[in-house]
Amino acid sequence: MPRARELKAAATAQQPAAWMKELSPRRRELIRPVIENPREFVLLSVRAAAARLKTDPATMVRVVQRMGFDSYRAFQNYLHDMSIANATSLDGMVQTTKPDIPSYLDATIKQDVQNLHAVRTSLDARRLAALAQRVHAARRLLLVGGDLAENLVHYFEHHFTIIGLPVLVATTVGRSLHITRSIGKGDLVMAISFRKGLRQTVDGMRRARANGAYCVGITGTHVSPIARLADEYFIAPVESNSFIDSYVAPMALANMILVACANYDREASLAYLREAAEEQRSGYRWYEPD
């Protein structure tokens, strides 16, 4: 099974409340430290993990298979994504130690390139074309995201507006709560959130989907609640070697989606862009030297 499908299945079916029911009380307590502290176990072999939990490798394999994973390696992949999803700003800062500032900068740009490469190698152009078709067919397009993801929401909004698409945004708790009540069948929601997933974004997308809206998620891992609850989702890693989340990959993904949408109905986009060009050449917003 391809890793994306494997993790999607794990994220959907193997939430704690679900797999706890599949395990005996003794095995629940055995595996609980692993689920609660994935970063401490993700790099351990099955033997090392079993020794740390004071059990044997065969029992470890049986437990993870009972949880729904095909193998211990599949379980490790899940732990890797859980480690990323649950990472804090502190984790990123303390896990990387370099001798000087140039070394930190080099590590940062290398991670950015790695994140960007992950987007480039995983994106399917046909999926983006199909998404562009859905965006143009939608009655309304709602963008939901808060905190740092609010910047991506407004980036999408600005460019969707330029090409004439009927876009709404929700970046606060109150706005997300109220606007998603009226979003439903015929509408498309694009929910953007990384790491564990911002509650207002997850709840807003869940409400809109329950009303019949088609929901598209943009997130950083396959185990994100955004991935688990969306009709479809796109992965853009935000991993970093410092206290920040790297938005290089999400910005690249946003550009790809915008280019696909602009070229789906190219003539209509060009008509709107010709009007925008007049303002960009001589509008009052732009500085003119004396």
In tens, the pLDDT along 199-252 reads 999 999 999 999 999 999 999 988 889 998 999 999 999 998 888 899 999 999
Residue holding tokens 């790297």?
Answer: 246
**E strand residue ranges, the chain:** 141-144, 167-170, 188-192, 214-219, 232-235
Return the pLDDT at 16. Answer: 54
Coil, strand, or helix at residue 202? helix
Residue holding tokens 């740092």?
Answer: 148
In tens, the pLDDT along 54-94 reads 899 899 998 888 887 888 898 888 888 877 777 777 877 78
Q: What is the pTM of this model?
A: 0.82
Beta bridge partners of 70: none
In tens, the pLDDT along 105-138 reads 999 999 999 999 999 998 899 999 999 999 999 9
**CA distance linking residue 185 with residue 198, whole number of Å:** 24
Return the pLDDT at 18. Answer: 66
Domains identified in the chain and CATH numbers? 3-85 (1.10.10.10), 119-280 (3.40.50.10490)
Beta bridge partners of 143: 169, 190
